[in-house]
Amino acid sequence: MAEHSDPERDPRWEAVRRAAARRVPTPPGLVERVLRAVARGRRTAVEVPGETGSLRVTGHVVARLAEQIAASRAPEGVRISAVAVEDDAVQVLVSVRFGTAAEEAAEALRRELTAELARQLDVAPTVNVHVVDVHPD
């Protein structure tokens, strides 16, 4: 049986240790953006019309619904990283498998998600899909 060495003792990890030890400054405006996003999460994101009135659906509920739909309808090679409602739109962050046509996969997911949200909510929210990473398999 081969003996496994501790990867942290590998000299190639020195660059990782140096990077981890460096202080990373908070990007300008990040705290304010996070606080605004938290405050927006309490507001109504979508108003769904009905026969006897309207139903107000919070951004959190829309995000959870969009996350479930995206996970079930993502094209092959696409992984959902995060879903949120921000700036009055559903924002979806995805990772694509290496070799996948990223723009086409993101557009296919955007169309599917927009259509299914419109079907379930009777309102078509704006959906943006952002490719933020590539994975090997």
- Residue 60: its pLDDT value, please? 85
Q: What is the DSSP string of 24-79?
A: -PPPTTHHHHHHHHHHHHTSEEEEEE-SSSEEEEEHHHHHHHHHHHHHHHPPTTEE
| Domains of the chain by residue range | 30-135
Q: Which two tokens stand for residue 12?
A: 């190639």
What phi, psi does 39 have (nearest 5°)? -65, -40
- Residue 12: its pLDDT value, please? 73
Give yes or no for residue 116 having a pLDDT over 90: yes
Pairing of strands 78-86, 44-49: unpaired
Domain 30-135 class, CATH top level = alpha beta
- Please write the tens of the pLDDT for every residue from 50-103: 778 777 788 888 899 999 999 999 999 999 999 988 877 899 999 999 889 999
